[in-house]
Amino acid sequence: MSKKEAKKKLVGPWRGLHAAIWLVGLYILLSSDRFFPGILVLLAISALYEGLLARYAPHAFEEEIPNVPESTELAKPAPVQAIPLADLADAAPANQGHRLELLPHICPNCNAPIRGNSVKWTGPQSADCPYCGSNLPMSKV
């Protein structure tokens, strides 16, 4: 893990399942006489579980927010600016001219899930991946 990449933790039922793996594994190890080699196997099972989740269920993780003292500028929330209703009525829909059905389901470069509301549209039928920034190939209809 690089210094720029934020640490991620399990959330939801994935975290509970991970805890259950450890509790059951520790119970089995403590009730038997094979604690030393068994704890290594339990560590391997835990690492495999997290690796499989990272690969096949990336939504099971969320970034950890570092503890920031409240006296710093980062801890203060940004002021919210109101948008007049007249400006909202004149605004065009976000997906006007964009063909969402042409987007791939996953990015071919980084294997991240692609959603029409999260991509950066560079043209009516051209978009960039929100995760790696690569241009997404559009499917032909």
Q: What is the mean pLDDT of each run of 10 residues along the chain (141 residues)?
A: 64 84 90 85 89 83 63 58 52 58 85 83 83 83 59
What is the 8-class DSSP label of residue 112? -
Asked whether residue 23 is assigned to any structural domain, the reply reads yes
Asked whether residue 129 is assigned to any structural domain, the reply reads yes
Tokens of 137: 């190939």
Q: What is the pTM (predicted TM-score) of this model?
A: 0.41
* Spatial distance between the Cα atoms of 109 and 126, rounded to a whole number of angstroms: 16
Asked whether residue 136 is assigned to any structural domain, the reply reads yes
* Spatial distance between the Cα atoms of 101 and 140, rounded to a whole number of angstroms: 10
Helix (H) or strand (E) run with residue 56 in it: helix 35-56
Residues 12 and 53 sit within 8 Å (Cβ to Cβ):
no
Domain that holds residue 20: 8-63
Asked whether residue 38 is assigned to any structural domain, the reply reads yes
Backbone angles phi, psi at 124, to 5 degrees: -60, -35
Asked whether residue 50 is assigned to any structural domain, the reply reads yes
Give the chain's domain count. 2
Asked whether residue 34 is assigned to any structural domain, the reply reads yes
Asked whether residue 18 is assigned to any structural domain, the reply reads yes
